[in-house]
Structure 1
Amino acid sequence: MRLLLVEDDDHVAAALSAVLARHGFVVAHARSGEEALRALVPEPDAFGVVLLDLGLPDQDGYEVCGKIRKRTSTPVIMVTARADVRSRIHGLNLGADDYVVKPYDTGELLARIHAVSRRSVHDESVTPAEDGLRLGPVRIELPTRQVSVDGSAVQLTRKEFDLLALLAQRPGVVFRREQIISEVWRTSWEGTGRTLEVHVASLRSKLRMPALIETVRGVGYRLVAPAA
């Protein structure tokens, strides 16, 4: 896999590039936001993942993330020393797929790279429906926010639909609890965790498919695409 590393510190970049190369990645190094954006001009989807440092010399990494997201759907992992919750939420809301705080464990970073890259791979269990998605007997119509199972309409609340639509776009991929809460509830309040559990239980019940949403203990949830 080709990987774009956006890091202005040459020593950090060299050490990380060596580790990534040993694990089979082909690394392109950009030292500034402008270099990173130029690297994406010829082929916006040439890289499997972008590792983006926020402390760049020419422009803020958040700004760069926003520009990258306008050009490509390539997964972006922000790598930064900014550890506060507000910064993480801001990064995720701008379109980052994950957020890693320095200093980090290399093994964890590699696992996160593989995780976000899997999310961008097309899953044949999901087939496009007109203006929506079809997962086996489940049809999700995004513009009208309607859901049906085997042709029968299922009434969902707004948040239930948002949760299902989020998981359904990347079946098989584990979404971290904090990521779901950030994207569906637009908050980082820890108390929302219980609300998430209630919504998952309600979805399983209303869709009459308890195995559709799998709990990954200690991490979050993933959607298991049913057979057609």
Structure 2
Amino acid sequence: MPRILLIDDDEHLAAPLASYFARFDCTLDSATRPSEGLARLRAAHYDAAILDVMLPEMDGFALCREIRKESDIPIVMLTARGDVMDRVVGLELGADDYLPKPFEPRELVARVQTILRRQRVAPPVAASPQRRVFDGLAIDLDRREVLRQGEPVELTGTEFELLALLASEPGKVFSRDDILNRLRGHEAELYTRAVDIVVSRLRKKLEPLDCIKTLRNAGYALAVGNA
């Protein structure tokens, strides 16, 4: 049963959400302060974390940054209603998805289920072979491991799935909308800026390799030779 940690200072939110998540065979634990949340993440295994932006001690962005120093656990950010900058900043810091407040519990469950599914199952488009080796880059789809010039690279679930998708057909241009639809696995509000942010994060982690190419007004492609 997946175990999720909610970090939100709204004391009235956790109990009803926990009951709702239980209907979908998920355990939802909660913490009202970032320090408590970090302690829980370090002490026990969690499959995903849900972070509110407005928190005491430190905001959700700083908390996301702290978590990313230690873990690639999937993260969903709960952002201010209609505040695009919250979404942008959260994604830039390594969050996997966002959901504006107020939200419907069913949508939150759906977002969490989607990122958990991405963690467990390699995308169908990249199902075979399970190891892809290029010039300076190796991607193991079974182990969800990436080597850059022989050195391991720590990627978030979303970053890995994006790289696996691009590597499934090297040279093919994937549009931003196509990437969002393929990675989320269900119809959702398209937010193309999110793709640009994840690509930017991925490029930095793959440096000095310059293997993700941008085609203006078209999308992204993996441009690297087979080893």
Q: TM-score range by the shorter chain?
A: 0.5 to 0.7
Evaluate the alpha carbon distance shift between residue 53 and residue 113 of structure 1 in structure 2; reply closer, same or farther with a 3 A threshold.
same
Q: Residue 11 of structure 1: SS of its match in structure 2?
A: coil
**Which has the higher Rg, Structure 1 or Structure 2?**
1
- Which deviations, in whole Å up to 9, do the C-alpha atoms of 1:63-113 show, x marking residues without a partner? 111111111111000113253212211100001001100111222211111
Q: RMSD of aligned C-alpha atoms?
A: 3.5
Match of residue 100 from structure 1? 99
Q: CA 1:17/1:141 → structure 2, altered by over 3 Å: closer, same or farther?
A: closer
Partner residue, 1:26 = 27
Letter in 2 for 1:19: Y
Hey, what does 1:127 align to over in structure 2? 131
TM-score, normalisation: structure 2 = 0.63
* Contact in 1 for aligned 2:3/2:27 (Cα 8 Å): yes
Which residue among 161, 167, 171 is the counterpart of 2:165? 167
**One-letter code aligned to 1:34:** S
**Identical aligned residues as a percent:** 32
Judge conservation of contact 1:181–1:196 (CA < 8 Å) in 2. no
Q: Give the letter aligned to residue 91 of structure 1.
A: G
**Which residue of 182, 201, 211 corresponds with 2:197?**
182
**C-alpha deviation, 1:41, in angstroms:** 1.4
Structure 1: runs of 5 or more not aligned: 145-162, 187-194, 208-228
Give yes or no for contact 1:6–1:33 (8 Å, CA) kept in 2: yes
Q: Is the 8 A contact 2:81 2:102 kept in 1?
A: no
Q: Residues of 2 paired with 1:164 and 1:107: CA distance? A: 25
Letter in 2 for 1:165: L
CA contact (8 A) 1:74 1:120 kept: no
Equivalent residue, structure 1, for 2:38: 37
What residue in structure 2 maps to residue 199 of structure 1? Answer: 219
Q: Per the alignment, do residues 33 and 70 of structure 1 end up closer, same or farther by CA in structure 2, a change over 3 Å counting?
A: same
- Provide closer, same or farther for how the CA distance between residues 75 and 185 of structure 1 changes in structure 2, counting only shifts above 3 A: closer
> Is the alpha carbon distance of 1:83 and 1:196 closer, same or farther for their aligned partners in structure 2, counting shifts above 3 Å?
farther
User: 1:61 deviation in Å?
Assistant: 1.0
Cα distance in 1 between the residues matched to 2:147 and 2:70? 26
Q: For each residue in 1:133-182, what CA deviation from the matched residue of structure 2 results, as whole angstroms up to 9, or x when unmatched? A: 267xxxx98559xxxxxxxxxxxxxxxxxx97363489963386342123
CA distance in 1, matches of 2:69, 2:40: 14
1:53 aligns with 2:68: no
CA deviation profile, 1:179-202 (whole Å, cap 9, x unmatched): 21232368xxxxxxxx676235xx
